[in-house]
Structures are given as structure tokens and as C-alpha cells.
Amino acid sequence: MILESIGARIRYVREHVLEMTQADLSKFLGVAQQSLSIIENDRVIPSIKTLRNYSEVMNISFEWLVHGGSISLMKAKKVNDFVTIPVFTKFNSIKMEFSKMENTVNFLSVSDKYSSCMSTVLRDDSMNDLFLQGSFIVFDSEKEPIANDYVIAIKDEELFMRRYTKDMDQFTLQPLNKAYKSIPANECKIIGVAVLQVLQREI
């Protein structure tokens, strides 16, 4: 069986693999149900970045989602459940803990494999073009970073994202956008390693 369009492939995965309603999958992807309906009916083709994000969230092959082919190439896994995790904007660097729930601006639905993770919103374009401004970044606060990981860090009570790089014996947090400056790792506190990006506006 070969599905001819991106919308048809998304609809097939939703109905036959994930076994979700359109409302459930739209919440899972972080988009409006109307946006998902438009995509499934082939009235719009999402951007490549959006499709890559969808493929990661739905656990399917990005190449199959974009180019099609036999369903045997899909490599999909059933998502048993999804959970909500908090979206933090502040971190108390004195107490070394996340601020109280009043600083939680949202909750994000993710696969239950990320149930122990937390998230924040990327508020600038310092990580373009790989990570988009306004997207949710899910991070694991228990994971120790290694060179070239993407990390969430805190400086002056603000959360930000950078690439963790090593030059000789010194670690630096580098932006992908050269308009921003690098930050020595010893001038901030790394609080987690990024494990997932969830787009909240693009379709």
C-alpha cells in the first residue's frame, strides 16, 4: 500500500498506528485541530522543519513522511500515552530550583517517554535555523551534557539555549546565530540537555 500525499500519510499514522483522534493528535503535536485538518486534507504542505518535528513526535521516518513509498518503510511505533509537562520561564539560581508554579506559563503535551522532563520556550532567534524562536524545548535535567549537546542554561535568572562546545580544555555555550555572543560555561549554570523541539505555530 502506497499513500500518495503527506496529508494521507499523516492521517494513516494517526488512525492506524497511533490510534488517535484528530483532536488528540493536534494536541500531541502542539497545533490547532483546524491546522491538522487542513494538512490531512492536503490544503497546505507544512514546511520541512515542521515535517521533521512531526516525524520525531510521531516516531516515524522523516524520509517516508516527505517522500512516501511502501508502508513498510514507515518504521512507526505506537505511542501508548502522552503526558503534560510544565513550561518554565524562571529558575531560582540561589535555591537552585525551578520557580513556583506561578512562573509556569503553560503545559505541554508530549510522549510519555518524556514524562520526567521539563520544557521552556525559546524566546529569541539565537539558535536559528535549527531551533525556531517561539518553539517549546523539552529538556532532561538529569542528563549530563557532553560536547556538542544542545543545553538549557541559566544566567541572571533567565533561561536560554546554546550548543555546548569544547575548545582545548574550555567549555563554551555557543549560539547558532552569529549575531549572538558565546558564553563561557563557567559564567552560567547548565540545567538540562535538550531532547525535543515542539513547534507551536507553524503548519
Whether the pLDDT of residue 94 is over 50: the answer is no
97 within domain boundaries: yes
In CATH, what number is assigned to the domain containing residue 186? 2.10.109.10
* pLDDT (0 to 100) of residue 102: 44
Asked if pLDDT for residue 20 goes beyond 80, the answer is yes
Between CA 183 and CA 65 the distance in angstroms is: 38
pLDDT value of residue 173: 97
CB-CB contact of 194 with 149 (8 Å): yes
Quote the domain boundaries for residue 118.
82-198
Shared domain for 69 and 94, answered yes or no, is no
Residues 6 or more apart in contact with residue 43 via CB below 8 angstroms: none
202 neighbors 135 (Cβ within 8 angstroms): no
What are the phi and psi torsion angles at 146 (to 5°)?
-125, 170
Question: Do residue 56 and residue 122 come from a single domain?
Answer: no
Mean pLDDT: which of 50-54, 60-64, 76-80, 192-196 is highest?
192-196
pLDDT band of residue 27 (cuts 50, 70, 90) is: confident
In a domain? residue 94: yes
**Max Cα-Cα span within the chain:** 58
Q: Is residue 36 part of a domain?
A: yes
Does 189 fall in a domain?
yes
In a domain? residue 65: yes
Task: Write the pLDDT tens digit of every residue in 132-172.
Answer: 888 889 999 999 999 999 999 998 878 899 999 998 888 99
Q: What pLDDT is stored for residue 92 in this prediction?
A: 55
* Residue ending a domain, choose from 73, 93, 123: 73
Q: How many domains does the chain have?
A: 2
User: For the whole model, what pTM was predicted?
Assistant: 0.61
Phi (first) and psi of residue 52, to 5 degrees: -65, -40
Domain annotation covers residue 188: yes
Is it the case that residue 193 has pLDDT exceeding 90? Answer: yes
The span from the CA of 26 to the CA of 6, in Å, is 16
Are 102 and 190 part of one and the same domain? yes
Asked if 28 and 56 count as a contact pair (C-beta separation under 8 A), the reply is no
Q: Does the pLDDT value for residue 100 go beyond 90?
A: no
